[in-house]
Amino acid sequence: MKSSFKGLAAALALALGGVSGAAAQTDAERLDHGKGLVETNCARCHAVGATDESPLADAPAFRTLSERYPVDALEEAFAEGIVTGHPDMPEFEATPQQIADIIAYLASIQPH
Ligand code: HEC
């Protein structure tokens, strides 16, 4: 799953003209990073992809979060610990960069 997404991201980066050693992260790299973070930290309960079902029925699929929140508001929710304080959730301390990448990934899977 992870490696096939990496392949896709690499293919996308190529299709978009390559990364050519630029210092700034490309969008594809940021999304890849954000997806990796949620796969590692969230996917055992939440659906983190575009079509999968949450392994834990109570945990909302991430692609439905925009039905409850503007995705931008999640950044604040992370910062205030709303998101990181829910039941059974493992301690997850994210750096601002990690949060930004997770938000970018979450935004990318919202249906609208
Ligand atoms: C051990 C299971 C588990 C893990 C791991 C987990 N969650 Fe959750 N999450 C839940 C459950 C259950 C709910 C629904 C109950 C609730 O809202 O308190 C939830 C709700 C949420 C919500 C909606 C909160 C709301 O107020 O509506 C967000 C956003 C969320 N999780 C983000 C994450 C993120 C991001 C990660 C990974 C960093 C993560 N969760 C990891 C179980 C989990």
CA of 15 to the centre of ligand 1 (A): 34
Give the residue from 107, 62, 110, 63 showing the smallest Cα distance to 83.
Answer: 62
- The pLDDT value given to residue 61: 95
51 HSE (CA, 13 A, CB side): 0
CA of 89 to the centre of ligand 1 (A): 7
Q: In a mutational test of the pocket of ligand 1, which residue from 48, 62, 63, 89 has the highest number of ligand atoms less than 8 Å from its CB?
A: 89
Greater pLDDT, 8 or 68: 68
Query: Ligand 1 within 6 A of 56 CB?
Result: yes
- The pLDDT value given to residue 74: 79
CA-proximal residue: ligand 1, atom 24 (nearest): 83
Query: Ligand 1 within 6 A of 61 CB?
Result: no
Reported as a single tens digit per residue, the pLDDT across 32-87 is 999 999 999 899 999 999 999 999 998 999 999 888 888 878 777 776 665 656 67
Give the residue from 43, 33, 50, 45 showing the smallest Cα distance to 102.
Answer: 33
**C-alpha gyration radius of the chain:** 14
62 within 8 A of 42, measured Cβ to Cβ: yes
Reported as a single tens digit per residue, the pLDDT across 10-38 is 454 444 444 444 456 788 999 999 999 99
32 within 8 A of 9, measured Cβ to Cβ: yes
Cα–Cα distance between 104 and 71 in angstroms, integer? 9
Greater pLDDT, 2 or 47: 47
